[in-house]
Amino acid sequence: MAVSTDEKREVRVAESSYDIAKIRSDFPILQMERAGKPLVYLDNAATAQTPNAVIDALTRYYTCENANVHRGVHYLSQTATTRYEDARKKIANFFHAPVGCEIIFTRGATEAINLVASSYGEAHVGEGDEIIISHLEHHSNIVPWQILCERKGAKLRVIPINDAGEMILEEYEAMLSPRTKIVAVNHVSNALGTINPVETIIELAHAQGVPVLLDGAQAAPHMPVDLKALNCDFYAFSAHKVYGPTGIGCLYGNAKLLNAMPPYQSGGDMIMSVSFEKTTYNSLPYRFEAGTPNIADAIAFGAALDYLSAIGMAEIAAYEQELLAYGTEALQEVKGLELIGTAKHKAGVLSFVMEHAHPHDIGQLLDDENIAIRAGHHCAQPVMQRYGVPATARASLGMYNTREEIDAMVEALHKVNKVFA
Ligand SMILES: *Cc1c(COP(=O)(O)O)cnc(C)c1O
């Protein structure tokens, strides 16, 4: 694509203030090559790569600090407990969690949503009640609610989206009623990148006394998230989407609501006292953390957030927005390519189909160039159904991607056309 010299200069200035070279050097996997080709990793919405700071935190924990938490009086157990609880505080600070709210460690966003669907659902949802989600949801914010509805005889209502991939708010407003028990929508769509108008969604629900859960798995890596300002009741996210390890995530929740919810899983750590006659439960957040938690990964999650804080989420967001604009324009140059998801407010996701090549063939050909994108339904089959496609090819951006990598992808897409068109 034609980029003027002035534009090129501008890019260099922007990149130098952000120090992209330093950031890239923090991620060992980005230095790997395959058959002489450097890795171009554009599958960050599936999982993001981990910087040395995270890898080192894991090594340090298993090398010098490994013990079970909340149990031992010995030095290692106390150290592990302190580190684990420090990680919880780091997460609360990073997301500006207000006082009186809780951070509960889970396996990820999926488990966090399941916890609320199961436990809040058990306490508050009955026959004829309604749960509102949207057409843009990840399967993990659809299926738990579907199962709850089946169990309770409740009804799932779905906010429709327009052709650009934006929720239709008038329809949402009309859906809210005294039967609505909870609204559960994503903050940012993983399939299309749409940044949803969650402030309005929360305001409208709260006006009717309805709590709101946000699936924040895709917002957390791309923008500053201020839970105090958002004022949602639950927020679910995963560490591996924010450059941390897999298998750990959080449920942020309003303590008043959490205290009125029955236990999700049971066993050690979530109890105060146990006898065969009666068991009493631990206080928050431990009441929802049954069994030995994922201590090492919780600590490494904290390290990932430290890493992001040092660079700044606003800086990362600005850098990625520029990259998204560049990528959106660059893809337009590819013959027969159609972008799916053209919302006004978007995070770094470029989902597309091509006239002559199936997404899986696109993914395969790009992989031959060591360019990693995702081809498929992105765990959001209803979104694909909405656009009448079985799948899309998706390039999703991270904090370490560059214009050169987008150029490499575009060049490979021209090759796809040569092979298939
Ligand atoms: C990745 C993702 C999830 C699921 O996260 P897990 O880590 O697999 O539990 C849910 N919602 C969105 C929007 C996601 O991107």
The CATH number linked to 348 is 3.90.1150.10
Tell me the best of 185, 225, 238 to mutate to test the pocket of ligand 1, counting ligand atoms within 8 Å of each CB and taking the most. Answer: 238
Q: What is the pLDDT of residues 19-75, one digit of tens each?
A: 999 999 999 999 999 999 999 999 999 999 999 999 999 999 999 999 999 888 899
Q: Does residue 104 sit in the same domain as residue 120?
A: yes
Domain of 258, CATH number, reads 3.40.640.10
Q: What was the pLDDT predicted at 74?
A: 94
Q: Does residue 380 sit in the same domain as residue 357?
A: yes
Residue 92 lies in a domain: yes
Average pLDDT over residues 380-388: 94
Q: Distance between CA 238 and CA 243 in Å, rounded?
A: 10
- List, edge to edge, every strand of the sheet that includes 249-254: 101-106, 249-254, 234-238, 212-215, 180-186, 130-134, 155-159
Q: What percent of the chain has pLDDT over 90?
A: 94
Q: Does residue 286 sit in the same domain as residue 319?
A: no
* 8 Å CB contact between 399 and 311: yes
The atom number, within ligand 1, closest to the CA of 215 reads 11
Class of residue 256 by CB neighbours under 10 A (exposed 0-12, middle 13-18, buried 19+): exposed
Residue with tokens 């554009």: 42
Residue 50 lies in a domain: no
Annotated active-site positions, please?
379
Q: Tell me the pLDDT of the chain averaged across its residues.
A: 95
Q: What is the pLDDT of residues 141-172, one digit of tens each?
A: 999 999 999 999 999 999 999 999 999 999 99
Domain count, the chain: 2
Question: Encoding tokens for residue 235?
Answer: 């927020």
- Domain containing residue 223: 55-309
Q: Distance between CA 315 and CA 321 in Å, rounded?
A: 10
The atom number, within ligand 1, closest to the CA of 138 reads 11
Centre of ligand 1 from the C-alpha of residue 250, in Å: 11
Residue 378 lies in a domain: yes
Number of H helices and E strands in the chain, helices first, is: 15, 17
Centre of ligand 1 from the C-alpha of residue 380, in Å: 10
Pick the last residue of a domain from 251, 274, 309: 309
Q: Does residue 346 sit in the same domain as residue 296?
A: no
Q: Does residue 208 sit in the same domain as residue 289?
A: yes
The atom number, within ligand 1, closest to the CA of 137 reads 13
β-pairing verdict for 212-215 and 180-186: parallel
Q: Does residue 216 sit in the same domain as residue 171?
A: yes
* 8 Å CB contact between 304 and 50: yes
Q: Does residue 288 sit in the same domain as residue 321?
A: no
Q: Does residue 278 sit in the same domain as residue 381?
A: no
Residue 48 lies in a domain: no
Residue 39 lies in a domain: no
Tell me the best of 43, 140, 294 to mutate to test the pocket of ligand 1, counting ligand atoms within 8 Å of each CB and taking the most. Answer: 140
Q: What is the pLDDT of residues 76-106, one digit of tens each?
A: 999 999 999 999 999 999 999 999 899 999 9
Q: Does residue 98 sit in the same domain as residue 233?
A: yes
Residue 36 lies in a domain: no
Query: pTM for the complete prediction?
Result: 0.94
Q: Does residue 305 sit in the same domain as residue 387?
A: no
> How many CB atoms are closer than 10 A to CB 334?
20
Q: Distance between CA 290 and CA 281 in Å, rounded?
A: 11
Q: Does residue 384 sit in the same domain as residue 272?
A: no
β-sheet bridge partners, residue 130: 155, 180
Does ligand 1 come within 6 angstroms of the Cβ of 186?
Answer: yes
Residue 142's alpha-carbon distances to 111, 138, 236, in angstroms, are: 13, 7, 14
Task: Give the pLDDT band (50/70/90) at residue 421.
Answer: confident
β-pairing verdict for 37-38 and 33-34: antiparallel
